[in-house]
Amino acid sequence: MSAATASSTDLATVFVRLLDEGTDVWRPVQAHRLGETTYRLADESVPEDEAWSFQPGDIVVVEQRQDGQSLIAVARAMDFDERSWASRRMAS
């Protein structure tokens, strides 16, 4: 199923890190699920006073936070390296 025809059940909230904040700040963004760990961020406006680590429309790799509920964008899918990802997951 393409992102364009995704149903509302394929939508999730993905947290995107804000840059230049001085502390960890995360913006909840709607995203379309494309695969087990890949999502396309919805096309929405970035507030003028924010700099996001990923842009609307980017396809990102996510991981679950320790609470098991939150999805965090950790890399652009085009930057994704399966071997590095596997070793990172084993270390955590």
Rounded Cα distance, 39 and 14, in Å: 8
Q: Enter the pTM of the model.
A: 0.74
Domain tally, the chain: 1
Pairing of strands 11-17, 26-33: antiparallel
What tens digit of pLDDT does each residue of 33-67 get? 998 899 999 999 999 999 999 999 999 999 998 88
Domain that holds residue 67: 3-91
Q: Out of 2-6, 45-49, 87-91, which region has the weakest mean confidence (pLDDT)? A: 2-6
38 strand-pairing partners: 61
**What tokens were used for 26?**
């995360």
Identity of residue 92: S
